[in-house]
Chains A and B, each alone.
Chain A
Amino acid sequence: DAGITQSPRHKVTETGTPVTLRCHQTENHRYMYWYRQDPGHGLRLIHYSYGVKDTDKGEVSDGYSVSRSKTEDFLLTLESATSSQTSVYFCAISETRTINEQFFGPGTRLTVL
């Protein structure tokens, strides 16, 4: 299995509080992604990174920011959590953009009350 960890694995928070999720990889892959997964929807891309300090928006980026200061870490921040951001968040990595397979972390289950 690819070396990807996510922390925390579960979190319950209140509306309006800031939340940061961490993705850590040991594969030295250049590309990292944050997705959310909700019932009735496929995995939807929030943000992705194509190198240290290089990030771009996905299809559902509103309310989220990201940072990547090291190859191995990709942080997802909810500046002010809302109930609509209750979801399962997956981090993924890929070696290059043209490589087809993405490897996923175990996911973080976030509940915003």
Chain B
Amino acid sequence: RKEVEQDPGPFNVPEGATVAFNCTYSNSASQSFFWYRQDCRKEPKLLMSVYSSGNEDGRFTAQLNRASQYISLLIRDSKLSDSATYLCVVKGSVEGSSNTGKLIFGQGTTLQVKP
């Protein structure tokens, strides 16, 4: 089982739509969670961190459910410029393991926003 799992999509939505991506992680001891964005043939860049209380940045809302080991990203009022791959990222934090402090990436969910 992969440590971080995402539905690869693609998600094809019209401009203005609301779209949600989900991600599950297997290590219940993980402490930090993020969404990175990767444009086609470009490098990944941090989009936002995910906090237990949920957090919002403009049209983007991230949620964390520790009990279900589930992370989500909601994009409202989709723009053409939102077309990209969204990577769910978990930071390993099991003390004494080789994963401590390392980022573990999901395979990404591709979003295509159409005019």
Contacts and interface: CB of A to CB of B under 8 A. Distances in A.
Contacts, number: 45
Interface in A26-81: 35, 40-45, 48, 56-58
Contact of A90 (B4, B44, B98, B104): B44
B1 interface: no
Given A40-B107, A100-B34, A100-B91, A45 B102 contact: yes
A43 B44 contact: yes
Contacts of B57: none
Contact of B43 (A42, A48, A104): A104
B20 interface: no
B107 A101 contact: no
A109 to B, nearest CB: 8
Contacts of B102: 45, 48, 58
Nearest to A38: B107
Given A100-B32, A100-B34, A100-B91, A43 B105 contact: yes
Contacts of B103: 43, 45, 102
Contacts of B104: 42
A97 interface: yes
Interface string B41-83: 1111110010000000000000000000000000000000000
Q: At the interface, is chain A mostly helix, strand, loop or mixed?
A: loop
A42 B87 contact: yes
Given A58-B102, A97-B101, A42 B45 contact: no
Contact of A104 (B4, B34, B44, B100): B44
Contacts of B4: 42
Contacts of B44: 43, 90, 104
B43 A43 contact: no
Interface of B: 2, 4, 8, 32, 34, 41-46, 49, 87, 91, 98, 100-108
Q: 3 nearest interchain CB pairs?
A: A42-B105, A104-B43, A97-B101
19 contacts: A35-B105, A40-B107, A42-B2, A42-B4, A42-B107, A43-B44, A43-B103, A43-B105, A100-B34, A100-B46, A100-B49, A101-B46, A104-B43, A104-B44, A105-B43, A106-B42, A106-B43, A107-B41, A107-B42
